[in-house]
């Protein structure tokens, strides 16, 4: 029986006191549920024309202000404070599953085993979303950084996606697997080359290199967006009247880079080019109103770019209970 607070108060109104013991008479109303202590799985579905897309989170990482060398500390802290973000900006790591009705395509794979405690959650969340990794027909990689390819391998270094083709941009693959470039890379960048090479190696027989503007599946077109890496790609989905752009790593910390597109992240292989690419896309997307998804925008990472008097802003898409 549920506790009726009003009746109880009426009943006890004349009593000397509503003692703690009095509440105990209706103890069942206060049944103690144990604390859950764990987060719920995180995935979110929506349609792009006839395509069914599921955003699946890999978790979050922290990107400290020191990674944005062009950002003056006082100004950057003020921008973050305005957005209620701490200095070590918590940043989402998102992936997207596209069901074409015929094929299941996963775009990027998160950090996998290289993650700290707050990322590397892709497999758990994929399963919670009803996907078996063996069902994935193709994994499309926007670029070969660890937080995008880490989930390709399990702890033993075996492919997680046993039946999937691996689609990587031709320029991206050529850059990260070039022995000369690898050997000339600064010591602290060497590990990025090693991780990229190790991630694609077990998929070699199923590797397909895609080109800029290539339609990698019906209605899904790759578009070069270089700067963050030499072969960084976005994916444009078109179905019926809908268009949707998965833009990979155009933005790393929304609170900083929409307002200040010129604040590049230290991981950009060519910061000037990354800034140019970001500004060009912001111009275009704020004008045409295309729905975008970003691997590092707050989960599920869906929203719109708006032009402001100075810089741009990000508007999260409305959450919908229906797909």
Residues within the interface to Zn ion (CB under 5 A) = 147, 249
Minimum CB separation from Zn ion for residue 143, in Å?
Answer: 8
Minimum CB separation from Zn ion for residue 61, in Å?
Answer: 9
Nearest to 137 by CA among 216, 199, 196, 234: 216
With respect to Zn ion, which residue has the nearer C-beta, 167 or 295?
295
The answer to whether 307 and 277 have CB atoms below 8 angstroms apart is no
Minimum CB separation from Zn ion for residue 120, in Å?
Answer: 14
With respect to Zn ion, which residue has the nearer C-beta, 62 or 238?
62
With respect to Zn ion, which residue has the nearer C-beta, 147 or 268?
147
With respect to Zn ion, which residue has the nearer C-beta, 88 or 238?
88
Q: Tokens for 47? A: 């349609």
105 vs 165: CA distance, rounded Å: 9
With respect to Zn ion, which residue has the nearer C-beta, 249 or 298?
249
76 vs 265: CA distance, rounded Å: 13
The answer to whether 158 and 147 have CB atoms below 8 angstroms apart is no
**Which class for 19: exposed (0-12), middle (13-18), buried (19 or more C-beta within 10 A)?**
exposed
Instruction: Work out whether strand 51-64 and strand 242-246 pair parallel, antiparallel, or are unpaired.
Output: unpaired
268 vs 266: CA distance, rounded Å: 5
72 vs 313: CA distance, rounded Å: 19
Taking each continuous run of H as one helix and of E as one strand, the counts in the chain are: 10, 14
Instruction: Work out whether strand 43-48 and strand 233-239 pair parallel, antiparallel, or are unpaired.
Output: unpaired
Minimum CB separation from Zn ion for residue 124, in Å?
Answer: 20
Minimum CB separation from Zn ion for residue 91, in Å?
Answer: 9
With respect to Zn ion, which residue has the nearer C-beta, 99 or 258?
258
Minimum CB separation from Zn ion for residue 41, in Å?
Answer: 22
207 vs 33: CA distance, rounded Å: 50
With respect to Zn ion, which residue has the nearer C-beta, 51 or 255?
255
234 vs 275: CA distance, rounded Å: 15
Minimum CB separation from Zn ion for residue 112, in Å?
Answer: 13
Minimum CB separation from Zn ion for residue 295, in Å?
Answer: 5
With respect to Zn ion, which residue has the nearer C-beta, 58 or 249?
249
Q: Tokens for 296? A: 């590092």
């Amino acid at each position: 029986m549920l506790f009726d607070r009003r009746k109880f108060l009426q009943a006890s109104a004349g009593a000397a006191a509503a003692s703690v013991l009095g509440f105990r008479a209706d103890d069942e109303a206060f049944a103690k549920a144990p604390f859950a202590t764990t987060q719920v799985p995180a995935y979110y579905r929506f349609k792009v024309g006839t395509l069914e897309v599921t955003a699946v989170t890999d978790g979050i990482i922290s990107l400290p202000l020191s990674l944005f060398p062009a950002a003056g500390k006082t100004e950057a802290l003020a921008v973050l404070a305005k957005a209620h973000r701490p200095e070590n900006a918590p940043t989402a790591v998102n992936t997207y599953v596209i069901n074409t009705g015929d094929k299941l395509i996963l775009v990027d794979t998160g950090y996998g085993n290289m993650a700290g405690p707050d990322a590397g959650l892709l497999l758990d969340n994929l399963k919670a979303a009803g996907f078996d990794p063996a069902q994935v027909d193709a994994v499309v990689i926007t670029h070969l950084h660890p937080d995008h390819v880490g989930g390709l391998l399990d702890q033993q270094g075996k492919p997680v996606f046993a039946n999937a083709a691996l689609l990587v941009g031709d320029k991206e693959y050529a850059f990260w697997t070039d022995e000369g470039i690898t050997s000339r890379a600064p010591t602290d960048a060497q590990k990025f080359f090693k991780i990229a090479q190790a991630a694609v190696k077990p998929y070699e027989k199923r590797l397909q290199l895609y080109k800029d503007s290539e339609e990698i599946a019906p209605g899904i077109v790759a578009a070069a967006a270089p700067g963050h890496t030499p072969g960084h790609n976005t994916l444009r989905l078109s179905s019926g009247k809908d268009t949707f752009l998965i833009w990979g790593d155009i933005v790393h910390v929304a609170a900083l880079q929409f307002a200040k597109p010129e604040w590049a992240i230290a991981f950009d292989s060519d910061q000037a080019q990354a800034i140019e690419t970001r500004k060009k896309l912001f111009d275009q997307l704020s004008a045409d109103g295309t729905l975008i998804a970003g691997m590092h925008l707050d989960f599920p990472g869906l929203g719109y770019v708006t032009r402001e008097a100075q810089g741009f802003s990000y508007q999260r898409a409305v959450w919908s209970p229906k797909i």
